[in-house]
Chains A and B, each alone.
Chain A
């Protein structure tokens, strides 16, 4: 952690952005190699047996799968650079369109899950750190491990059994009731926003009700990790000299936590968010499947089932790019708010 001049922030940001390029190329290469080591070209794998040999050959030629693999690799990379992620084979949609149409559902779910995780983890993590090594801390730790140990689809199943089937408080699947979905015109492909734009509060409320169970299910997955990190950060911050100074002035321990340590304890929290994006997306695939939620995860499963390699390749590419970009952004934010990160 060397101290450098003010220019170091710029140097850091530049290095970080430059590193981003080879990282993306390596990821794209891995995705391409993974998807193409399989025998057979994408067209015959997806449509083989359904069309005649001539038709298949025609489709292959049209999509360029009869050319050398290195040419196809170049096409793929340059396509991604132009933000063209290819067209699906079975229903000829562009991958970008899949993200535009189904991305809204995934975005709603992940953002809501993230909010749930923060709402639960911040207070619980602070309590655990404040009362560390007490039975309260211990039971919160067990709770954290439990949220991690329970697979999202099992938690989802229990939620459905308890709150949808048992108590009948909330709907158990899909984004909104079919009647409501039919009523709201689709503009942004984010149902809740569409409902608001249409001025349909009843539809909005219906959407929120449908969102609660999936969001809590996915949110719990992150809660354990978040809690743990907030707790450790708080404990570390509580050891610093300025906190000791506050204590010496007679400020009560709880007040020290809330007024003095809290903000500094939250800074390192930003660092780990990068990894959580990947976890969140993985969990979203499972949650969508559990709650019959028509997001990108559901689409991925659908295209996997119909062996549409190009669709799968495109969706994975976009997922990977999302994760890498998110971690780039988080690193940049982190460098700006915490000078110690820059090197």
Chain B
């Protein structure tokens, strides 16, 4: 789950042959989809579709959900009834409290997407910034930060999230921001590690040296030159972490430290209520929110793995080797540059294939 091995900073800028910035960004996003093959493409596309469905549910929740997430009666004021079986007006049935399960699943998508996006932004800002500074400045700053981050990483993720959520709930209440910050605490160390490693290797490159020789200040070097380059390693972990974050959020909700039920619909909380129902054979209160979690997490995981397979050239080798003679790999190793612009199978092995297994 934790992505320890980050992809090397490959594929620098897209050829800037008079293209506008927007087009460059768009083609940057489209590139993994264009460049992928076989299993990688299948995973990337399936994952994107699954995640996109959930994002659509989240964005258009007010239009899709027939009822509010805490609504127990229809417009005429007639109560829904508790534990109604799926079907009719209530597509997925109703819960013990009389909530409409389908509506809660849809609103839950909104909660999950919001919290994970918030957490992603928070942890990217903190993690990338600290990683960049630690990698570039080095010395005691680096050592101290590495030690703190390693220690945070050693704590069980869920435990850390629980404690942070628990403490924050006392100050700022149990809303989306609390849950997002709790999740942030869990994932900052991962971005830190990857960005720091990328910075350490990138700062030795000639272009950084050139900038320094011209008298550029540290801030300029870090944010103008290094940031663009080290950020390349982020998308894969960001996607995989987003998947993990959904699980952490649901875990928090399940234990009762996530978003308070009065504030928003949350799948983990719904599952907690459903455990009691399971004893009496009521399956619909748990099955649907659970399925929603599985679909979203699977979507994001498939996306992340597909991206990894496409962006990270070290893994491409594996697919190639299954077709061609494996021993060729060793002969061409020494003269190989880590930068690859070739979309198709090229001779770019670095003998590190299988490092992806260290996740």
Which residues does A use to contact B, with CB under 8 Å? 22-23, 26-27, 30, 34-35, 37-39, 132-133, 138, 145-146, 148-151, 153-154, 156-158, 160-161, 164-166, 172, 225, 228-229, 231-233, 235-236, 239, 268, 272, 275, 278-279, 281-283, 285-286, 289-290, 300-301, 304-305, 312, 316, 319-320, 323-324, 327
Contacts and interface: CB of A to CB of B under 8 A. Distances in A.
B147 A23 contact: yes
Interface string B146-182: 0110111011111100111011001100000000000
Contact of B159 (A158, A231, A282): A282
Contacts of B321: 239
B170 A290 contact: no
Given A281-B156, A316-B159, A23 B151 contact: yes
Given A133-B322, A149-B301, A279-B1, A286 B167 contact: no
Given A149-B293, A150-B293, 9 more contacts: A30-B148, A34-B167, A132-B322, A133-B322, A149-B294, A153-B254, A231-B357, A281-B159, A320-B155
Interface in B23-44: 39
B290 interface: yes
A148 to B, nearest CB: 7
A165 B293 CA distance: 23
11 contacts: A145-B298, A149-B247, A154-B286, A156-B275, A157-B275, A158-B287, A161-B283, A281-B159, A282-B157, A304-B162, A323-B155
B144 to A, nearest CB: 9
Nearest to B299: A149
Contacts of B250: 151, 153
Given A151-B247, A153-B271, A304-B166, A235 B358 contact: no
B268 to A, nearest CB: 7
A150 B167 contact: no
B248 to A, nearest CB: 9
Contacts of B275: 153, 156-157, 160, 290
A146 to B, nearest CB: 7
B258 interface: no
A94 B148 CA distance: 28
Residue from the set A22, A231, A282 with the largest chain B CB neighbour count within 10 Å: A282
B274 interface: yes
Contact of B155 (A158, A272, A278, A289): A278
A91 to B, nearest CB: 19
B318 interface: yes
Contact of B156 (A154, A272, A278, A304): A278
A22 B147 contact: yes
Contact of A154 (B152, B164, B294, B318): B294
Contact of B271 (A34, A151, A236): A151
Contacts of B158: 282-283, 285-286
Contact of B255 (A138, A150, A158, A286): A286
A235 B167 contact: no
Contacts of B322: 132-133
Contacts of A278: 154-157
A26 B164 contact: no
A37 B290 contact: no
B80 interface: no
Given A27-B151, A138-B39, A146-B298, A304 B1 contact: no
B2 interface: yes
Nearest to B149: A26
B14 interface: no
Nearest to A275: B2
A324 B293 contact: no
Chain B interface, >50% SS class: helix
A165 B279 contact: yes
B326 interface: yes
A244 to B, nearest CB: 8
Residue from the set A30, A154, A275, A289 with the largest chain B CB neighbour count within 10 Å: A154
A323 B154 contact: yes
B163 A312 contact: yes
Contacts of A156: 275
Contact of B251 (A27, A286, A327): A286
**Chain B residues touching A, range:** 35 or more
Nearest to A233: B357
A289 B254 contact: yes
A70 B184 CA distance: 28
A146 B156 contact: no
B66 to A, nearest CB: 24
Interface string B220-240: 000000000000000000000
A324 B154 contact: yes
Nearest to B144: A26
B356 interface: yes
Contacts of B256: 301, 305
| In the complex, the 8 A-B pairs of residues with the closest C-beta atoms, listed nearest first | A232-B357, A282-B158, A154-B290, A149-B297, A282-B156, A149-B298, A278-B156, A26-B151
Interface string B252-272: 001111000000000010011
B339 interface: no
A148 B157 CA distance: 15
A138 B305 CA distance: 13
B243 interface: yes
B357 A160 contact: no
B254 A286 contact: yes
Contact of A149 (B157, B166, B243, B271): B243
Contacts of B305: 145
A165 B257 CA distance: 28
B305 to A, nearest CB: 8
B12 to A, nearest CB: 28
B155 A27 contact: yes
B146 to A, nearest CB: 10
Nearest to B358: A272
B345 interface: no
Contacts of A164: 278
B17 to A, nearest CB: 37
A285 B255 contact: yes
A35 B167 CA distance: 8
Contacts of B101: none
B354 interface: yes
A148 B156 contact: no
A279 B298 CA distance: 18
B92 to A, nearest CB: 15
A198 to B, nearest CB: 30
